[in-house]
Chain A
Amino acid sequence: MKSSFFTLLRTRSTLPCLFRRALLGAGLLIASLSAQAGMMSPCQDPIVLPGPQVHVFILPYRAESVLTDRGRQLATIMQRHILFAALKYSSIAVEELTGDPGRCDYNMAASRIVPHLRAGQSAIFLSGRIFEQGDAIRLQSTVSFLTVDQTDKITWRLGVNEANQVSANIPSDPVIFAPRVIPLDFLEMLEPAQREAQRLHKTPDATAPFIDLPGDPEARFGFEVVEAKNDWMHVRLFPAGGDGWVPAHALATAGNLKGVFPELYFVDGLIGYLELSSASSRQSGEENRSIRTAAVASFDQYLELATGRAESEARALAAVLQGSTTLRADSNARWLTAQLQEAQRYFKRAKDLAPTSTIANNFFLACTAALCARGACDEGSDQLHAQFLNAIAQDPTSRELVDNLNAFYGAAQSGRIKVDLSPAKIAEQRAIIGRARSSMR
């Protein structure tokens, strides 16, 4: 069975541009209200919706061997999989970008997408390289993410004086994962599920009439998830309109995909983290806690599956994001000591995973300083001081570490933090910091 909206989509390239824009506009209006959306569009002309807080863009993986069909197939599987897994989040769009990978890298895609995102909206870009040989596909993924007009920074006050605070920032560097090997027979195992997930049924019933969602590289469409019912998603297509049911359970076996491809769990956790980062004030406390629980669990699964892989930086970042998610879940940022202690445990985990990571060290030290300022740090302030100096000894290029140590000394001078240093020594150290700052960027 083919319905009229499908015909319209297939002929979209013959439609006058203005008409296409008008159709898309109508679709966007609908989708701006949507909770979740899945999309597919050419890289040259990506769809950016005004509604969802987090967009995930899956770029075509660059094939380094003859692979094109399989590579595209894998991207579609990942798109559906990320979307279905992300149904637990409230405001998400997942879009598969299609086209020549050589003309659709992160920089090109971001330059077309970011200007259309509104302030506070976040974007995640999943890109990579793929290579087929013998009975396996090898791939390596990179995740980049950003929130428009918002720095990814957490600040902790060390006293009543607002100026005396420490902060830690998630850098915008891309996260590069170690290469993975996916056996071809594993993909073949997924194919029936993938075919089923492409079908748009008239009713939530596997025997009901269906149409196939467009799959050609020029297809440009999206769907919003209107409701979920017994493992079926009720979706509405845009810009063409029309609706139907997609079996969410179809990709249940794709849970295995995350086993060989743990960065999907990382992306899953990242969606939750960014939802809390960009819109925490607009959601209820209960919703935030639910998002937090889901995100932390996803990062846990990533960390478990990535154990022993040569990607210590990515693993440390996952643990940092767990701690940050814990703090972001409180929209007022007036954390109880227990909340800080819970976040600190994640930051310590990050530090243990990558002892030389500046990000992990800085989050741990800043959070611990906040606890010490409350008289609640198990390590003690002197131990924290030693750890600050050790972190700077490992990375003297970090302005953030130096600024935070300065704030720590400020809290010590005001008596907020008790530390076994003479006032003269503290003053001497702060003078060194003053000179050092002038030589740093």
Chain B
Amino acid sequence: MNRRWLCRFGIAVACVASAPLVRAELTNCAGLNAHPADYKVVLDDFSFTTLAAQNDTDLSALKDRLQFNLNGQIESLKAAARRLDVNLQVPLRLVFCAGRKPSISGNEFTAALAERLSDERVVVEMWGTLDLASGGGQMPLPRATIGYAIPPVQHYVNETEAPPLHLVAYPKTGGAQSVEELENLPELVAFALVGLGTKATRANRYDLAVWSFTRAQAGIVDAQLAGTNADLDALLAYIIRAACNTRASARVDQNYSGPLKLVPAQTCTGTP
């Protein structure tokens, strides 16, 4: 093998390694159209941004750890779905969309897509992107970004009132008391409940909406243990305010005769 060929080969490998491995793809997902009456949590693929990222053992290890923690959240979601179905007759299902890979920033989630997903009763869509971040001239650092889109919030709520897209970098850098929390994903269940509460409010299902917002509040407070950010704080303020507004609507709705009629009026500020 001559030197010139080797040189070309080396350049080619370098180009392939640093080239984007996947173009952001928002392929259709068959599961979204099935069971139109059910609320849905959509779980997309975790994807690597480059071949170099895909071949990085530390990044693969981070992906596996996140997958383990995600599986735990999925079990929590399934348990919550069972409770919802039994107690409130609300069907909630998980939809796994193999091959669906939104970009790291979630730019694909336009207003039109949010409306369509919301109409399909998607309460949250989650995806993951893994890449190697430049570490200031040092070795590249494995980094994962988990994205969450909450279509009902994006469609029905002003973005200044509640951010519908959330990008969480892993490992987190908050002041958690245990390292486990820095790679945990408690946001998934909380965001699903925010989406469900928002849909339920629009359908005048006040009890379900308030229950969802309250449970979401607990989940977000748990998530804040590993660090918070302005978007998470804003979402927490939104759900507290939304729960309050939902109670106010229930009190004046002549068609509603549930327990919220017992509760006195209150000023809805968005603080606990």
Contacts and interface: CB of A to CB of B under 8 A. Distances in A.
B87 A441 contact: yes
Contacts of B208: 397
A429 B260 CA distance: 11
Contacts of B129: none
Interface in B154-203: 176-181, 184, 186
Given A178-B181, A180-B180, A312-B218, A392 B259 contact: yes
B211 A395 contact: yes
Interface string A389-421: 100111111000110010000000000000000
Interface residues on A, range: 35 or more
A179 B69 contact: yes
B7 interface: no
A405 B181 contact: no
A308 interface: yes
Nearest to B250: A396
B247 interface: yes
A14 interface: no
Interface in B248-272: 250, 257-264, 266, 272
Contact of A397 (B88, B226, B266): B88
A140 interface: yes
A440 interface: yes
A11 interface: no
Given A181-B179, A392-B263, A176 B65 contact: no
Contacts of B67: 64
A178 B206 CA distance: 31
B125 interface: no
B215 interface: yes
A176 B258 contact: no
A308 B177 contact: yes
A356 interface: yes
Interface stretch (B11-19, B46-54, B72-80, B137-145): B72-80
A8 interface: no
B64 A131 contact: yes
A402 B207 CA distance: 13
Given A180-B180, A307-B177, A357-B218, A392 B260 contact: yes
Contacts of B35: none
A133 B72 contact: no
A392 B176 CA distance: 32
Nearest to A138: B68
Interface of A: 64-65, 129, 131, 133-134, 138, 140, 142, 173-174, 176, 178-181, 307-313, 354-357, 389, 392-397, 401-402, 405, 429, 432-433, 435-436, 438-441
24 contacts: A131-B68, A138-B65, A138-B180, A140-B68, A140-B72, A142-B75, A176-B72, A176-B75, A178-B181, A179-B68, A179-B69, A310-B184, A310-B186, A312-B221, A356-B215, A356-B217, A393-B247, A393-B263, A393-B266, A394-B243, A396-B250, A397-B88, A402-B262, A433-B259
